[in-house]
Structure 1
Amino acid sequence: MSNQQIRKFTEGSNVKNITQFLQRLYELDAEIFAGRPRDLITLIDYWNQYQKFDSTLELYEHDIRNKLTETTERTEHILKSSSEIRIAVEKLALAISITHKRTISIAELPSSDPDSLDPTRILTDWSLKEINSLLRLAIFDPATYERVRFHHRSVQEYLAACRLKYLTNKGMSVNERFSLLFSERYNISVVLPSMRSIAAWLSLHDREIRKELMKREPETLLSCGDPGSLPIEIRTELLKHFIELYSEGTSRGINIPLSQVAKLSHPELKPAIEHFWRKGYRNDDVRELLLEIIWTGKIQGCSTLLKEAIYDQLIPVEDRLIALKAVDATGDIALLNSIIDDIIHQPSLWPDKFIFYFSEEFFPPVFFQYMIYLF
């Protein structure tokens, strides 16, 4: 379902506080869990019961529980407990991630396809019938002939991280975990690209992985997983590592998805933003991240920083616009009025793109407020 279809379906359903429901759904990037009407109905039921979605992590768990218990014409009864079923899908998720397979075979005979995982080699204590019944659960989608894949790759990566968390609790060594997630290439410490999301999810529970990920690629912990589930002190440490690594030199083109920045953002990050502003402001990647944190988190008391960025003619106009959006989001009417006054009386300060955006987004409401302010 598209976002428009999700909205239309929701408006036709018995949803408490529809606006808040949709806003929170989009904030958490939860549209992937509303791809089918049946999925959206379960989200609506959850919302109506609790009136909140606390985190992306919570939604992943809700979706997995739902898909492992949902019954359709495709599903068959499995004589296994819910915990055994959960363990089985976690094993398959980790196996696919490690072997780089694309699908899982559901044929009665083992597959010779190098791109398809043979589940009998992973679920050795399951019968063929039980395995094939498992692969008909809603968490899997049909792929090519006699093949299935996980319904969402992001869910597969989350489940793989859950399996690594379990193995860690059972005694898996730090070196073993590092060998799965990290590598040294040309004397550069990197995170294996195929394991980035898994490393980010695991970092929520694994201090050693989190420390190493911050040291190697802090942007991965920002871009993947659920940074909103990290404690404030860990988020502050994450920002520190990002700024220490990237504040020097030119832009590296790091683009953290805005939805992920919104998950990270929190009013309690204000002291950290003020502390890191001077050190990282001149780097495009750092400045953009700090401005987006203020904007998406509607963090109050940052007027001085925002004004500096808005009036800075040496930085890209896109960053000046992010600062403007942050001013609007935080409801700083005094600064908005000051900007309007300078747009009118000092037009040379503002690029055409800035003027166009300001006029399109803020006229007439803010200009009416400005007229009231004048009189």
Structure 2
Amino acid sequence: MSGREPIVPLVRRFSPTLSPSDDESTDSEAVHPYLFGKNSSGWEVIEEKRRCVIIADAGAGKTHEMLARARYSAERGRYAFFIRIENIREAFASAFDVGDAESFEKWIGSEDDAWFFLDSVDEALLQDPLAFEEAMRAFAARIADARERAYIIISSRSYAWRARTDRQLLDQLLPYESPKANEIGEEEIEEAVQTGMSDPNKLTNSIDVVILDDLDEDDIRMFAAHLGASDIEEMMQEIKKAGLSSLSSRPYDLLGILTKWRSDRQLGGRLGYLKHSIAVQLDGINWTACSIDPSILPEAVGRIAASVILTGKAEIRVPGSANDERGFDPIEVLPDWPRENVVALLDCTLFTDAVYGVVRFRHRDIRELLAAEWFADQLANPERRAEIEAMLIREKYGERILTPRFRPMLPWLVLLDDRIRREVTAIRPEIAVEGGDVASLPVEERRSLFHSIVEQIAEGKDDRGARDNDAIARIAHADLSSDVAALVERHAENDDALFFLGRLVWQGQMTDCLPLLLDIARSRSRGLYARIAATRAVFTTGSKEQRDTLWDSLLEVPNKHA
């Protein structure tokens, strides 16, 4: 295929994360990076970890990084394997994108180390809530005789990673025997003491969870320059003005922004530029061997995207390939299309290169938007509306619930159908900020959603979908600053609400809220996470006087007799 994503010489970094709390149920606790004292590291450090999980959101480039690193490791002469987690149980022999079953068996019989790059927890969960656990059990059985020689790196979206349960699962299924205390160097012991680890023998016994760092402004400038963008500083200002800073920090989204910048010299919201990106990629299809009416292409890719959601199968079988096990057959979705037209459609840059006769949507946000547009078209048909609504929202034990399979698509669908938006956000208001482009909604609707989200967090009734930094960034706009200040004051004693609001303040640069957060950051009686969020808000957004005041307070030695 041609027109694939360019290779830009970025050096990606990873930040360590806070361990889940021991004194509360943290299955769905958000993953947060350390605020102080922990430097980010590169791949050379990640690959020295025996068991590591990389957390990143859509478009951050984790699959690209994992795949590229697996190839690099293989080229260096290592045993290296890139495997899609959702394929481990049913088609292990053909599950390798890097390496193959023959090399795997050769490694098992050797005495060498191997590096496994397993991608991705969230794709596995599209098929079945237990799919990740079952895949890990199958994988653990496969490597049981060589487990101590395996370096295992797993990727996941933040919302799919269960902070306690998944750690415990991996510790149970893929344990790594720690070196004895006398085999640990002085530097490792010193690090253990500094990080509060009471027993140096446990140094390598836990799962390392890291976050793939966003691109910083220098990375964005390098990326843009490498792709030949002009007026880069003007573009950087436009990105900030349009509220697209969080999106530009991820390679895939930055590609879309650059494409729109080159064509229009201005940027719209997330919804606008993704639509632009889809149109550009469909327009670039090579129809040399066949012909087709371009106007039917959006509906066709929408059908395929909806089929991915409906079947839970992320892979699409290329017509004519030898594969008959993986993915679903798009001919069933496009029965009136000639085979050669389906092949040409799957060859466009909306999809990945074919591996073992299957492709997948290159970016999940585009897949989910296309699926949402297809479902919105079905909802517009009065004869189908009741049927579609029943698929999306079900009743169980007298309570209305959202069907889990459709959740990744709903942040887009709530933008496209007013009735669905009212019904979905009445059940789970955080859906509106888990993806999509909530900033495109009128301010009054955003204000109502924001208040509902904060109230659910304060009451412990949310499912944490709105608590990750990307979700917060989607709603952290200056026109809600007065609402944030009022809610900080209202929930001044609620650490969960403050942790959410504090991060919203620093992402939205809401300086009006800082006096209250400064008091919270200085208070030693407040919870750790509330103080972390308040401290970061002050240090990233506050005046020099506010920063100095907080720093002096943090350096004070508490009076034990007070």
TM-score range for the pair, normalised by the shorter chain length: 0.7 to 0.9
- Per the alignment, residue 192 of structure 1 pairs with 403
Give 5+ residue unaligned stretches, structure 2. 1-6, 12-218
Greater displacement, 302-311 / 179-188: 179-188
* Equivalent in 236, 243, 268 of residue 21 of structure 1: 236
For 2:322 and 2:257, how far apart are their aligned partners in 1?
37
- Per the alignment, residue 96 of structure 1 pairs with 308
For 1:70 and 1:14, how far apart are their aligned partners in 2?
20
* Equivalent in 4, 10, 14 of residue 4 of structure 1: 10
* Equivalent in 255, 259, 267 of residue 53 of structure 1: 267
- Per the alignment, residue 86 of structure 1 pairs with 298
Q: Secondary structure in 2 aligned to 1:137?
A: coil
| Residue 119 to residue 81, structure 1, CA distance change in 2 (3 Å) | same
Letter in 1 for 2:267: F
Letter in 2 for 1:47: W
| Residue 140 to residue 282, structure 1, CA distance change in 2 (3 Å) | same
Give 5+ residue unaligned stretches, structure 1. 350-375
CA positional deviation for 1:84: 0.7
For 2:426 and 2:491, how far apart are their aligned partners in 1?
17
Q: Secondary structure in 2 aligned to 1:190?
A: strand
Give yes or no for contact 1:246–1:283 (8 Å, CA) kept in 2.
Answer: no
* Equivalent in 239, 252, 263 of residue 33 of structure 1: 252
| Residue 109 to residue 342, structure 1, CA distance change in 2 (3 Å) | closer
Give yes or no for contact 1:182–1:190 (8 Å, CA) kept in 2.
Answer: yes
Give yes or no for contact 2:352–2:362 (8 Å, CA) kept in 1.
Answer: yes
Does 1:347 pair with 2:562?
no
For 1:213 and 1:10, how far apart are their aligned partners in 2?
38
Give yes or no for contact 1:291–1:322 (8 Å, CA) kept in 2.
Answer: yes
Q: Secondary structure in 1 aligned to 2:360?
A: strand
- Per the alignment, residue 170 of structure 1 pairs with 381
Deviations 1:27-69, CA, capped at 9 Å, x for gaps: 11563526xxxx94x7435324544433221231122122212
Matches within 5 A, 1:152-167: 152-167=363-378
Give yes or no for contact 1:189–1:216 (8 Å, CA) kept in 2.
Answer: yes
| Residue 240 to residue 109, structure 1, CA distance change in 2 (3 Å) | same
Q: Secondary structure in 2 aligned to 1:203?
A: helix
For 1:250 and 1:99, how far apart are their aligned partners in 2?
30
* Equivalent in 319, 325, 340 of residue 530 of structure 2: 319
TM-score normalized with structure 2 length: 0.54
| Residue 163 to residue 254, structure 1, CA distance change in 2 (3 Å) | closer
Give yes or no for contact 2:412–2:437 (8 Å, CA) kept in 1.
Answer: yes
Give yes or no for contact 1:102–1:116 (8 Å, CA) kept in 2.
Answer: yes
CA positional deviation for 1:245: 2.6
How many residues were matched structurally?
340
Larger helix proportion of the pair: 1
Deviations 1:130-176, CA, capped at 9 Å, x for gaps: 22221211111234433221112221111000111222233355532
Give yes or no for contact 1:110–1:118 (8 Å, CA) kept in 2.
Answer: no
Deviations 1:86-140, CA, capped at 9 Å, x for gaps: 1110111112211222322222499864x52222222233222222221211111
Deviations 1:265-322, CA, capped at 9 Å, x for gaps: 1112123223333444444432222112211111132133222321333333333232
Cα RMSD, aligned residues only = 3.2
Q: Secondary structure in 1 aligned to 2:419?
A: helix
Give yes or no for contact 2:522–2:553 (8 Å, CA) kept in 1.
Answer: no
TM-score normalized with structure 1 length: 0.78
- Per the alignment, residue 67 of structure 1 pairs with 281
CA positional deviation for 1:187: 4.8
Does 1:139 pair with 2:350?
yes
Letter in 2 for 1:84: I
Q: Secondary structure in 2 aligned to 1:326?
A: helix
CA positional deviation for 1:231: 2.1
Give yes or no for contact 1:306–1:326 (8 Å, CA) kept in 2.
Answer: yes
| Residue 83 to residue 182, structure 1, CA distance change in 2 (3 Å) | same
- Per the alignment, residue 182 of structure 1 pairs with 393
| Residue 76 to residue 96, structure 1, CA distance change in 2 (3 Å) | farther
Q: Percent identity?
A: 24
Q: Secondary structure in 2 aligned to 1:294?
A: helix
